[in-house]
């Protein structure tokens, strides 16, 4: 069903739907040194984490009385139509599919949504992902860094990182971290 | 990340939330079937009849015998 645009969003068509939209997205990952308390976080680092088994809800720090997402702002839970654009993301560690609902603003290359929850996830070596895309091999290791940052790395890029002074304080088995992440969020693995 | 210019707004009200089962809200309880209240007859209880203990009177000489 199509409605006329509103004063709030002049010139934009408004549609309604009962089916959540599915989009691509990347996240950063944090957790404790032993791989527990895993938490998906926006790659920008400034927004709220996506807590396991809680619906993620958009909010906007820019304007207190403004419903997120809002046209004319960048707020909202972002997702993209395709995964190629995500290869330019800064420091992605988890790639996945996300279901979005509520108020959604569709853009040329993706969406900004009011509510979302992950549907499928996969750990990625950000260097392999940047070079080869999502069909790269799964990383073997997850490095634990200060501030609880967890960074999955393939064997080659782990050694490269160490050689360039980016040595993790601990190295975890990526398959185990991956399974813990899926269990925490109660979802399945991304099958690509 | 630049996702381009806005094209349209979509209001999505899903028929069911795409979240793990344990997060889904509990379905509203069904209206109970109409149930007749139990009719319970109170037990008929006879009042206790307690016979007093029968006490034999003491025999003469039992009481106050000097050692």
The model's pLDDT over A57-103, given as tens digits with 9 standing for 90+, comes to 998 876 666 788 988 888 999 999 999 999 988 889 999 999 999 99
pLDDT value for B14: 94
And the tokens for A126? 């950000």
pLDDT value for B63: 41
Q: Which residues of A touch B (CB under 8 A)?
A: 9, 12-21, 53-55, 71, 78, 80, 85-86, 88-89, 99-112, 117, 119, 185-187
Q: In which region does residue A34 sit, left (phi positive, over 0), alpha (psi from -120 to 50) or beta (all else)?
A: alpha
| Per-position pLDDT tens, chain B of length 67 | 789 999 999 999 999 999 987 665 555 556 555 555 655 555 555 555 555 555 555 555 444 333 3
Of A13, A88, A104, the CB nearest to B12: A104
Residue A42: Cβ within 10 Å count: 17
Can you tell me the distance from the alpha carbon of A114 to that of A84, in angstroms, rounded to the nearest whole number? 23
* Chain A: closest CA distance from residue B31 (Å): 27
The model's pLDDT over A132-188, given as tens digits with 9 standing for 90+, comes to 888 887 899 999 999 999 999 999 999 999 999 999 999 999 999 999 999 999 999
Is A107's pLDDT higher than 80?
A: yes
Could you tell me if the ipTM is greater than 0.90? Answer: no
**Nearest residue in chain B measured CA to CA from A18:** B14
* A6 against A58, higher pLDDT: A58
pTM of the model: 0.79
User: What are residue A25's phi and psi, to 5 degrees?
Assistant: -165, 155
Question: Which residues are CB-neighbours of A186 under 8 A, at least 6 positions away?
Answer: A52, A53, B20, B21, B22, B23
B-chain residues near A120 (CB < 8 A): none
pLDDT value for B39: 57
B-chain residues near A102 (CB < 8 A): 11-12
A-chain residues near B21 (CB < 8 A): 186
Mutate to test the interface with A, among B4, B12, B23 (most CBs of A within 10 A): B12
Beta carbons of A59 and A48 less than 8 angstroms apart? yes
The model's pLDDT over A12-50, given as tens digits with 9 standing for 90+, comes to 899 999 999 999 999 999 999 999 999 999 998 677 899
pLDDT value for A136: 80
B-chain residues near A77 (CB < 8 A): none
- Tally C-beta pairs within 8 A across A and B: 108
pLDDT value for A122: 96
* Chain B: closest CA distance from residue A170 (Å): 31
**Nearest residue in chain A measured CA to CA from B20:** A186
């Amino acid at each position: 069903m199509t409605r006329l645009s509103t004063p709030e969003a002049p010139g934009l068509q408004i549609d309604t739907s009962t089916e959540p939209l599915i989009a691509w997205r990347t996240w950063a990952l944090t957790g404790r040194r032993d791989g527990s308390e895993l938490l998906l976080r926006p790659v920008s680092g400034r927004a709220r984490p996506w807590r396991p088994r809680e619906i993620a809800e958009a909010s906007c720090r820019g304007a207190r009385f403004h419903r997120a997402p809002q046209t004319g702002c960048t707020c909202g839970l972002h997702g993209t139509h395709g995964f190629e654009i995500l290869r330019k993301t800064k420091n992605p560690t988890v790639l996945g599919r996300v279901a979005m609902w509520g108020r959604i603003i569709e853009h040329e290359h993706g969406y900004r949504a009011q509510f979302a929850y992950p549907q499928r996830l996969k750990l990625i070596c950000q260097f392999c992902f940047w070079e080869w895309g999502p069909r790269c091999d799964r990383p073997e290791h997850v490095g634990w860094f200060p501030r609880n940052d967890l960074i999955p790395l393939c064997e080659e890029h782990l050694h490269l990182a160490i050689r360039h002074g980016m040595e993790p304080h601990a190295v975890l088995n990526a398959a185990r971290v991956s399974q813990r992440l899926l269990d925490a969020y109660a979802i399945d693995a991304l099958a690509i | 990340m630049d996702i381009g210019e806005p094209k349209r707004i979509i209001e999505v009200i899903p028929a069911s939330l795409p979240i793990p089962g344990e997060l889904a809200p509990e379905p509203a309880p069904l209206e109970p079937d109409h149930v007749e209240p139990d009719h319970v007859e109170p037990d008929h209880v006879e009042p206790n009849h307690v016979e007093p203990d029968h006490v034999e009177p003491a025999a003469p000489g039992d009481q106050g015998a000097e050692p």
